[in-house]
């Protein structure tokens, strides 16, 4: 059995616990003036999502017990339970919906309690949910509240969206004029015409083919099969998608989002609230969130691409990345507004995920799904998940928080660090947000459960160590006198954390807890197994980069005791 020692010297920095991830993002606490608003970002407080919840999105009218107060109560209750907070701790509520009478927000919130808090009703078309979210965020970052509920819901009529009022100016008239001046107005639903014509324009300008839009729908329908909240969970072939009923060229029925009933909710909190309530392990920071509206180019350039929000999306995205100190390459997972497949492709370019005209290449390369550079709409997107207007932005937030917390089950994207949200409403409004884990050194990267633990080969090692501690923990504690944190990465990038306490009481072995110890050992799963069985030389492993140690080097050398015990066991 090789001796676990290293005959070399290391600088103190090599083994210092890395707390840099706890520091603010570049520019986050710096005194940076935002040119668009003149707001000094140094005065802003950090904002975290500490709880999310949503209903399953349903076909309108499918459930008899699904009026908006009931669906809102379900989503908000789930979010509060997720955060471990009561309604009495919520100081304000921002509630979004498009279809409904005034003060529906109050009526929905009354299902949760009657505490007299302010309730703000929000309507920004399809961006309503994210508008409620950014309003809640601003209350916290401005110091007006410490815990705010963002809630969105929609009870919709079946079929395509229709104009509600006919005795006043339609807020979409300028956008419709662009359609009339370019491809002309047809009998198809107006939203499908606007986004479909944007797709036509992209085809004419860049040579994009109808199959590229169909491939987006193919991807999103496939993603939705793993989402229990999705209205549709059916997978289709490319031929089925392209041959489904034509809505407006190049869009077919399976490339258009359905109308839906449903609700989503998020609990936002300040840093003080997070720390005082012990929510660090689930807090997801909104590191940047920007809203923009239409620019002159939307109406003056006779471009359907610009009329459906390309330029305002680009502006909001540029500001968000700049204020977060992040680049597009930092992003792993994206939830974007795919109301129609054409819009998803155009949004790739508007967000800067690829250069203008290169959306088709991103699709053909597979860099928009699992195994590629980005996983876009792992939830199934609006096309499959559904689109209850007021809930969509909050459902996107929920999905991205689950991804960052490692709780997306079969949809889980490997090694998520940064998530990007895009929610747009014609008329117009767009919200772009960036999310990261709030407390990097304290939050476990992936969900913890017995089934998750069993996916690691080296789990057998820690079971043996636990068995030894159970038999004679006191002597082990006397001999080891330390807390060992093991961060083990599987082949798919999933991280498992074991903490072996051989310092207190009779010792213990815990999986999926706060990754904190006197020394931290970082290895791949198979390498950890081989090391502990004596099949991998520790010195060689270190020089090859297979073994990383942070913290107390002297304590790390005591691992040979665990190694010997595991090697003698029958695993």
d(CA 465, CA 485): 13
Half-sphere exposure of 86 (CA within 13 A, CB side): 5
Half-sphere exposure of 532 (CA within 13 A, CB side): 27
Q: Inter-axis angle of helices 341-350 and 210-224, to 10 degrees?
A: 100
Beta partners for 521?
486, 549
DSSP 64: T
d(CA 183, CA 193): 9
DSSP 497: E
Report the Cα 21 to chain-centroid distance in Å. Answer: 19
- Which DSSP string do the residues of 354-421 spell out, in sequence order? S-TT-HHHHHHTTTTSTTSS-EE-TT-HHHHH-B-HHHHHHHHHHHHHHHHHT--GGGPPTT--EEEE
Bond before 428 cis per omega within 30 degrees: yes
145-184 per-residue burial string, b: 16 or more CB within 10 A, e: under 16: bbbbbbbbbbbbeeeebeeeeeeeeeebeebbebbeeebe
Catalytic residues, by residue number, are 126, 387
Judged by DSSP in three states, 164 sits in coil
Q: Which residue has the tokens 């001999």?
A: 479
């Amino acid at each position: 059995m090789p001796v676990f020692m290293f005959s070399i010297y290391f600088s103190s920095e090599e083994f210092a616990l890395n707390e840099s991830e706890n520091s603010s993002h570049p520019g986050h606490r710096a005194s940076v003036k935002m040119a668009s608003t003149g707001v000094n970002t140094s005065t802003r407080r950090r904002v975290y999502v500490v709880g999310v919840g949503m209903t399953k999105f349903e076909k309108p009218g499918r459930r008899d017990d699904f009026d908006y107060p009931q669906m809102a109560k379900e989503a908000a209750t789930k979010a509060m339970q997720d955060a471990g907070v009561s309604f009495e701790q919520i100081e304000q509520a921002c509630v979004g919906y498009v279809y409904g009478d005034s003060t529906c927000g109050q009526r929905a919130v009354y299902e949760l309690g009657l505490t007299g808090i302010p309730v703000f009703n929000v309507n920004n078309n399809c961006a309503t949910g994210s508008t409620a979210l950014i309003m809640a965020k601003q209350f916290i970052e401005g110091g007006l509240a410490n815990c705010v509920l963002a809630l969105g819901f929609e009870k919709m009529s079946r079929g395509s969206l229709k104009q509600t009022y006919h005795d006043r100016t339609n807020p979409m008239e300028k956008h419709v004029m662009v359609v009339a001046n370019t491809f002309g107005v047809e009998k198809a639903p107006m939203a499908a015409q606007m986004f479909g014509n944007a797709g036509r324009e992209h085809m004419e300008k860049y040579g994009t083919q109808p199959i590229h839009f169909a491939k987006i729908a193919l991807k999103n329908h496939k993603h939705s099969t793993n989402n229990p909240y999705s209205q549709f969970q059916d997978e289709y072939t490319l031929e089925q998608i392209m041959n489904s009923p034509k809505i407006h060229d190049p869009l077919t029925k399976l490339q258009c989002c359905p109308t839906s009933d449903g609700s989503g909710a998020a609990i936002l909190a300040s840093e003080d609230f997070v720390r005082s309530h012990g929510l660090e392990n689930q807090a997801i920071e909104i590191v940047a969130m920007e809203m923009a509206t239409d620019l002159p180019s939307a109406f003056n350039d006779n471009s359907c691409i610009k009329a459906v929000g390309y330029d305002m999306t680009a502006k909001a995205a540029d500001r968000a990345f700049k204020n977060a100190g992040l680049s597009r390459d930092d992003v792993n997972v994206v939830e974007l507004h795919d109301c129609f497949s054409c819009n998803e492709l155009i949004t790739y370019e508007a967000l800067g995920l690829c250069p203008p005209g290169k959306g088709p290449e991103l699709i053909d390369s597979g860099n928009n799904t699992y195994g590629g550079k980005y996983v876009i709409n792992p939830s199934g997107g609006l096309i499959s998940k559904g689109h209850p207007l007021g809930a969509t932005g909050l459902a996107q937030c929920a999905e991205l928080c689950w991804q960052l917390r490692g709780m997306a089950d079969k949809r889980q994207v490997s090694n998520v660090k940064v998530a990007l949200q895009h929610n747009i409403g014609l008329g117009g409004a767009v919200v772009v947000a960036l999310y990261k884990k709030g407390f990097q050194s304290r939050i476990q990267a992936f969900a913890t459960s017995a089934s998750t633990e069993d996916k690691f080969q080296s789990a057998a090692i820690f079971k043996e160590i636990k068995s030894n501690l159970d038999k004679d923990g006191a002597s082990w504690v006397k001999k080891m006198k330390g807390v060992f944190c093991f961060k083990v990465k599987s082949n798919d990038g999933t991280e498992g954390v074991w903490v072996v306490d051989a310092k207190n009481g009779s010792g213990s072995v815990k999986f999926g807890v706060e990754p904190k110890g006197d020394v931290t050992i970082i290895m791949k799963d198979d390498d950890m197994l081989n090391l502990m069985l004596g099949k991998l030389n520790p010195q060689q492993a270190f020089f090859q980069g297979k073994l990383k140690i942070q913290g107390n080097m002297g304590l790390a050398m005591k691992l040979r005791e665990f190694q010997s015990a595991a090697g003698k066991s029958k695993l």
